[in-house]
Each structure stands twice: as C-alpha cells, then as structure tokens.
C-alpha cells in the first residue's frame, strides 16, 4: 500500500455516467448536450452518477466520482424538467469527455491527459450530437481497458500504459439464490461492471454459451434459479464446471439470500406469484425453495443477505467482491445503530457505546458525529484516543495479511446506540486514517438519516432489494 496523502474532495461542473463500471465525466458549457448524451448512454445500459455537478475525491491511486447529496439520482432533461432516475452511488473516474462542435475535433488527435488531484486522467473531445458518439465513447473506454479504469499518478505519466496483467483471471460467476432476494439486481450490476450477463438460460444451453464466450469475454455472469428450465443443483454445476475447466477460467458462485418473512412480504406487496407457491401459501413456497437450494448455498463462495440492504448496498457489495480489475483490498466503513440491527455484511464490528454519549448534552443532541462540537465532546473522553490507536494497531497488520490472502473487500462496522454521534465520529476518523494510508475506502452512515425523536423511525432511502 502506498502512502498517498488524503486530499479534500472537489466539485466540478460536469455530468458523470458509468459505463461498464467506469465513470466518464461529460464536460461542456450549458446547452452543450451533456444531459442529452447522458440519456443516450443510460438508454444503452450506462448508469447516471451525477448530473451537472460531480464530486471528485482521491482514494489511494484512483479518483472516486459521486453526486452531491442534494442532486443524487436527479437529472435535468431539457423540455421535460428534473426527473429522478436509478443512479449509481459512485465509480472510479476513467476519463473526461469534452463536448465540442464537430468542426473543432481533430481527425487523429494525440492522446492527452490532465492532472486532477495529483492523478493524470485521459481526456477526449467528442461532438455530442453525432449519431456515433456513444459508440466512439465506448471504443475509447475499451482502449483504456488495460488501465483497468485506474487513474495514473502524475509522477508515473511518462511510464506509459499499465500492463493488462492487473486484471483478474477470466471468471465465470454463477449467480443464484432465493427468488425475490435480489438476484436480478446483482446480475444487472455485474453487467454494468463489464460482465457478459445471461439470466434463466435453459441448462442445456449453459455449456455452449460459456464455451463460445470464453474466447473473448473478460468475464461471464450466469443467473440461475427455480425458473431456469431443467433446474437442479447437480445439473447446473455439472453443466458449467467441465467447460470452465477446459477454458482455464475460475468458477465462482454467488448466492443472494433474504429472510423468509421479508421475502413473503415482498411477494405479498408486489402481488407476484412465487414460482413454487402453486396451491401452497407464499411462505410455504418460500420454505420449500429454501430446502431445494440449501446445498447450493453451502457451495457458494459468497452469500449476500439482502434482508437489511438497499439496492445501492447490494450493488456496492457485488462491485466490491467481483470487480474485474485487480485493485487490491477495498475497505468499506459504515456506522450503524444497534437499535436497528447489526449490518449483516460486516466482516469486523467495533462497539463504541462505551464512549461518552453526546445525546445527553442538549445542545449536541441534534448534531452528528461530523460536527466539530460533537467531535470535541467525544475526544474529551479519556478512553477515546487509546481506543482509536488500538483499532488502528489491530487493523494495520490485518489489511496487508488480508490482501496477501487474496481478499478483495472488507466491511468494517462501527456501532453505537443511535447511530448518530459516536459511531459516526469514529467511522469518519477511521476512514480518514485508511485513506491517508493509501487504502481504497468507502464510507456510509447507515442510520444517520433515520428519524430520531420519539421512536425508531425509518431510514431514508432504505427500501430493501426486491
């Protein structure tokens, strides 16, 4: 891990769209066609990150793009107005695309980069209203594929392109799980990341598909569930395993799960028919399915339980565990409230309820762990500094060992009673320390948006995956 200094985020005037999991920033003056091009890219499978303004933050040797909280998920469409679309929370910046008139574009331009937050980012010029502009943008991204979407440090600008050896071995990922738990969302996420994704293929077609795609597809994701024709655990694994071994690829299994009662509620509220219900009740169909797929769950390389996850949470986990680029260990830090349950995806959990609680100080109650007054209150606790030092002393050797063992994603959860003061403060401190050490780190405060007074309330944007 490199010792890259933490850099404050910056805001720029641009529209950000993710293509294959990599962020492209569309730049140009008002009326240049940024939103128009973004809409066409979204229609072709891209994902909006931010419209008009984007926040850039350096994390190790990459730049992370996300939307300012006030405009997340919103896009302004000329002639229609502001609309809400399903957006990607964040992605690694791959390139800038400057939108200019066609007459200003060189026929064979020299490659160019510009320095942002100490990293050199490739940039191209495009005419936004050409019929082929989306195709040109995708071709340009494919030309950068050897860089795995990673920005090049300014000090390495003369070193040329990174080797393609930084990508992971060819992978076949079987995505399965309980019906209604979020398998389709996981597959769509993988497709956005650059996987060739296929869902509910008859088992008889799985082997020919993998065989034909193995020649040029970087990675293949195959969705299989009870609706797959000829479904059986032995048949599915047998159909895939032999051809995977012949092609020299690795086979991984992702199982997407959820609590039975939550699955029942999802089916009841959506009025969808469970594939095994028939004359049975929904809950009996769910229980029968669980018995049928239990052996596949035991075989899975990763089980993601979506019971308390939002759609964004599921996408984050899938992206963290199955990224195509060998980017090393990625760490996600989340604060949470014990009263709302422990995050099921957490690898390490730290309980900070022993710290002095600002909730009982009237002038601090409505503030959060991000506010200086709350931070100062917590730091006056004589055990605070010792605890923070101890946590880092534990984590620092663990991170290198995890990375050496091939672990790609680590979730650290920090909990307190209400998820508003102590856990938020410690999570912020820990994320800053990780980032300063050159670790790729993401940060979220799971329960900070919950209604605080007079009861537990509900989290904003906490709709579970269906």
Residue 234, domain extent: 167-321
Q: How confident is the model at residue 272 (pLDDT cuts 50, 70, 90)?
A: confident
Encoded tokens for 93: 């910046």
33 vs 76: CA distance, rounded Å: 11
Q: Is residue 439 domain-resident?
A: yes
Encoded tokens for 379: 């730091």
Verify that 124 and 18 share a domain, yes or no: yes
pLDDT at site 88: 80
Collapsing DSSP states into helix, strand and coil, what is residue 229? coil
Phi, psi of 81 (to 5 degrees): 115, -165
Residue 2: exposure state from Cβ atoms within 10 A (0-12, 13-18, ≥19): exposed
Residue 163 has pLDDT above 50, yes or no: no
Verify that 91 and 223 share a domain, yes or no: no
Q: What is the pLDDT of residues 67-125, one digit of tens each?
A: 888 888 888 887 788 888 878 888 888 889 898 888 888 777 777 888 888 888 888 88
Q: Select from 302, 321, 340 the last residue of a domain.
A: 321
Encoded tokens for 111: 């490659």
Residue 167 has pLDDT above 60, yes or no: no
DSSP string for residues in 142-192: HHTGGGTTPPEEGGGGGG-SPPGGGBPPPEEEEEEESTTSSHHHHHHHHHH
Q: Is residue 5 domain-resident?
A: no
Verify that 400 and 373 share a domain, yes or no: yes
- Count the residues in the chain: 466
Residue 363 has pLDDT above 80, yes or no: yes
Count of Cβ atoms closer than 10 Å to residue 247 Cβ: 15
Residue 462 has pLDDT above 50, yes or no: no
Nearest C-alpha neighbor of 28 from the set 103, 127, 115, 120:
127
Q: How far apart are the first and last CA of the chain?
A: 38
Half-sphere exposure of 398 (CA within 13 A, CB side): 14
Verify that 309 and 356 share a domain, yes or no: no
Handedness of CA 150, 154, 155, 159 (dihedral sign): positive
pLDDT at site 156: 36
pLDDT at site 326: 57
Q: Select from 285, 303, 321 the last residue of a domain.
A: 321
Count of Cβ atoms closer than 10 Å to residue 434 Cβ: 26
Q: Is residue 269 domain-resident?
A: yes
Verify that 171 and 316 share a domain, yes or no: yes
Angle at alpha carbon of residue 227, lines to 223 and 233, rounded to 5°: 65
Strands 152-153 and 171-177: unpaired
Verify that 199 and 256 share a domain, yes or no: yes
Average pLDDT over residues 172-191: 89
- Range of lowest pLDDT (232-236, 315-319, 346-350, 437-441): 232-236
Average pLDDT over residues 455-462: 34
Q: Where is mean pLDDT largest: 144-148, 194-198, 301-305?
A: 301-305
Verify that 117 and 256 share a domain, yes or no: no
The residue with greater pLDDT, 144 or 343, is: 343
Give the distance from CA 380 to its chain's centroid: 36
- The H or E element spanning position 283 is helix 282-299
Q: How confident is the model at residue 2 (pLDDT cuts 50, 70, 90)?
A: very low
Average pLDDT over residues 303-329: 82
Q: Is residue 63 domain-resident?
A: yes
Verify that 332 and 316 share a domain, yes or no: no
Q: Is residue 458 domain-resident?
A: no
Angle at alpha carbon of residue 51, lines to 47 and 57, rounded to 5°: 85
Nearest C-alpha neighbor of 24 from the set 8, 6, 7, 42:
42
Q: Select from 115, 137, 159 the last residue of a domain.
A: 159
457 vs 461: CA distance, rounded Å: 13
Verify that 345 and 290 share a domain, yes or no: no
- The H or E element spanning position 205 is helix 203-213
Q: Is residue 220 domain-resident?
A: yes
CATH code of residue 137: 3.40.50.300
pLDDT at site 323: 80
pLDDT at site 296: 86
Verify that 353 and 314 share a domain, yes or no: no
Encoded tokens for 399: 């991170």
Q: Taking a C-beta distance cutoff of 8 angstroms, is the pair 223, 199 a contact?
A: yes
Residue 160: exposure state from Cβ atoms within 10 A (0-12, 13-18, ≥19): exposed
Phi-psi region of 177 (alpha: psi -120 to 50; beta: other; left: phi over 0): left
Average pLDDT over residues 329-343: 91
- Range of lowest pLDDT (147-156, 158-167, 318-327, 382-391): 158-167
Q: Is residue 452 domain-resident?
A: no
- Range of lowest pLDDT (32-46, 205-219, 405-419, 435-449): 205-219
Query: Measuring CA to CA, how many Å separate 43 from each of 38, 85, 341, 357?
Result: 9, 11, 38, 48
Verify that 119 and 253 share a domain, yes or no: no
What are 364's strand-pairing partners? Answer: none
How many distinct structural domains can be found in the chain?
3
pLDDT at site 229: 65
Average pLDDT over residues 143-172: 45
Phi, psi of 245 (to 5 degrees): -65, -40
Q: How confident is the model at residue 294 (pLDDT cuts 50, 70, 90)?
A: confident
Collapsing DSSP states into helix, strand and coil, what is residue 116? strand
Half-sphere exposure of 20 (CA within 13 A, CB side): 19
Q: What is the pLDDT of residues 123-157, one digit of tens each?
A: 888 888 887 788 788 777 766 654 443 443 444 33
Q: Is residue 460 domain-resident?
A: no
Residue 370 has pLDDT above 50, yes or no: yes
403 vs 413: CA distance, rounded Å: 19
The residue with greater pLDDT, 213 or 261, is: 261
Verify that 352 and 410 share a domain, yes or no: yes
Percent of the chain with pLDDT over 70: 84
Mean pLDDT of the chain: 80
Q: How confident is the model at residue 159 (pLDDT cuts 50, 70, 90)?
A: very low
419 vs 424: CA distance, rounded Å: 7
Query: Measuring CA to CA, how many Å separate 343 from each of 65, 335, 357?
Result: 25, 9, 21
301 vs 252: CA distance, rounded Å: 6
């Amino acid at each position: 891990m490199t010792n890259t200094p933490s850099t404050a985020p910056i805001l720029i005037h641009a529209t950000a769209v993710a293509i294959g999991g990599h962020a492209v920033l569309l730049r140009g003056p008002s009326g240049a066609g940024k939103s128009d091009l973004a809409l066409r890219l979204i229609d072709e499978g891209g994902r909006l990150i931010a419209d008009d303004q984007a926040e850039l933050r350096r994390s190790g040797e990459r730049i992370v793009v996300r939307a300012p909280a006030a405009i997340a998920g919103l896009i302004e469409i000329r002639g229609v107005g502001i609309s809400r679309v399903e957006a990607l929370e964040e992605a690694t910046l791959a390139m800038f695309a400057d939108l200019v008139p066609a007459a200003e574009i060189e026929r064979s331009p020299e490659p160019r980069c510009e320095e942002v937050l100490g990293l050199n980012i490739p940039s191209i010029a495009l005419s936004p209203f050409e019929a082929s502009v989306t195709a040109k943008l995708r071709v340009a991204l494919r030309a950068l594929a050897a860089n795995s979407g990673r920005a090049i440090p300014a000090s390495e600008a003369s070193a040329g392109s990174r080797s393609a050896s930084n990508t992971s071995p060819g992978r076949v990922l079987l995505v399965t799980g309980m019906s209604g738990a979020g398998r389709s969302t996981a597959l769509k996420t993988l497709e956005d990341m650059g996987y060739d994704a296929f869902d509910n293929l008859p088992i008889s077609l799985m082997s020919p598909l993998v065989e034909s795609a193995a020649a040029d597809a970087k990675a293949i994701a195959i969705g299989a569930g009870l609706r797959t024709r000829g479904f059986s655990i032995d048949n599915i694994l047998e159909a895939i395993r032999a051809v995977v071994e012949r092609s020299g690829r690795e086979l991984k299994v992702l199982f997407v799960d959820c609590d039975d009662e939550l699955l029942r509620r999802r089916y009841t509220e959506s009025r969808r028919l469970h594939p095994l219900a028939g004359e049975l009740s929904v809950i009996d169909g769910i229980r029968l399915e669980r018995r049928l797929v239990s052996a596949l769950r035991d075989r899975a390389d990763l089980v993601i339980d979506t019971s308390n996850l939002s759609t964004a949470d599921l996408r984050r986990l899938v992206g963290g565990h199955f990224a195509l680029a060998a980017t090393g260990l990625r760490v996600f830090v989340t604060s949470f409230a014990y009263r709302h349950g422990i995050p099921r995806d957490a690898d390490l959990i730290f309980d900070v309820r022993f710290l002095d609680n600002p909730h009982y100080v009237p002038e601090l109650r409505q503030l959060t762990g991000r506010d200086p007054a709350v931070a100062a209150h917590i730091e006056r606790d004589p055990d605070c500094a010792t605890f923070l030092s101890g946590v880092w002393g534990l984590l620092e050797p663990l991170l290198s060992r995890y990375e050496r063992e091939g672990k790609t994603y680590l979730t650290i959860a920090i909990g307190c009673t209400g998820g508003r003061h102590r856990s938020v403060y410690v999570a912020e401190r820990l994320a800053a320390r990780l980032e300063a050490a050159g670790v790729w780190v993401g940060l979220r405060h799971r329960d900070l948006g919950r209604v605080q007074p007079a009861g537990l309330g509900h989290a904003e944007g906490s709709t579970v995956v269906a």
